[in-house]
């Protein structure tokens, strides 16, 4: 009895031809992580909302796996951001001073607290206070004292 051989038409890709993470995949993953952190939710919570495991969310955030269009829309809705938030071409330009556009844990805490304020007049007062403090802070005051 002869065993049929497989057709070579469906040969696996050659080594080194594995799909690489594109710049857009990496960017969308970074923005997914940022939106998740700003929303104050865990990878498990986001995974539950998207119908995937927290490990899948980790892979989305690193750009290892691509988000499907449907999951991207659900993520934007769940995290309260516009769909364009994940697209590099529609994102704000990088800071011309070269400073990082990422958030520290303290900055994330401030944004979450600000978003929790339901009073628009209170938000306005808080913004004015921060602007005033930033304008009056000595240039050499780097330790926050």
How does pLDDT run across 55-111, given as a tens digit for each residue?
Answer: 999 999 998 899 899 999 999 999 988 888 888 775 455 555 555 556 677 787 888
Assign domain 20-92 to a CATH class.
Answer: mainly alpha
Q: Please tell me the number of Cα atoms within 13 Å of 92 on its side-chain side.
A: 8
Token readout for 52 is: 């995937």
Q: Above 70 in pLDDT, residue 9?
A: no
Q: Whole-number mean pLDDT of the chain?
A: 78
Residue 77 confidence (pLDDT): 93
Please state the domain extents for the chain: 20-92, 105-138
Token readout for 133 is: 């403090």
Contacts with 66 (C-beta within 8 Å, 6 or more apart), sequence order: 25, 28, 60
Q: Above 60 in pLDDT, residue 54?
A: yes
């Amino acid at each position: 009895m002869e065993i049929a051989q497989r057709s070579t038409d469906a040969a696996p890709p050659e080594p080194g031809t594995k799909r690489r993470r594109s710049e857009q995949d990496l960017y969308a993953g970074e923005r997914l992580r940022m939106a998740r952190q700003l929303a104050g939710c865990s990878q498990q919570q986001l995974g539950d909302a998207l119908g995937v495991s927290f490990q899948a969310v980790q892979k989305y955030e690193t750009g290892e796996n691509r988000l499907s269009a449907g999951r991207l829309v659900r993520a934007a809705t769940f995290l309260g951001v516009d769909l364009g938030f994940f697209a590099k071409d529609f994102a704000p330009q990088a800071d011309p001073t070269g400073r990082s556009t990422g958030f520290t844990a303290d900055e994330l805490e401030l944004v979450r607290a600000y978003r929790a304020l339901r009073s628009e007049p209170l938000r306005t007062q808080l913004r004015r206070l921060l602007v005033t403090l930033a304008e009056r802070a000595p240039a050499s005051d780097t330790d926050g004292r």
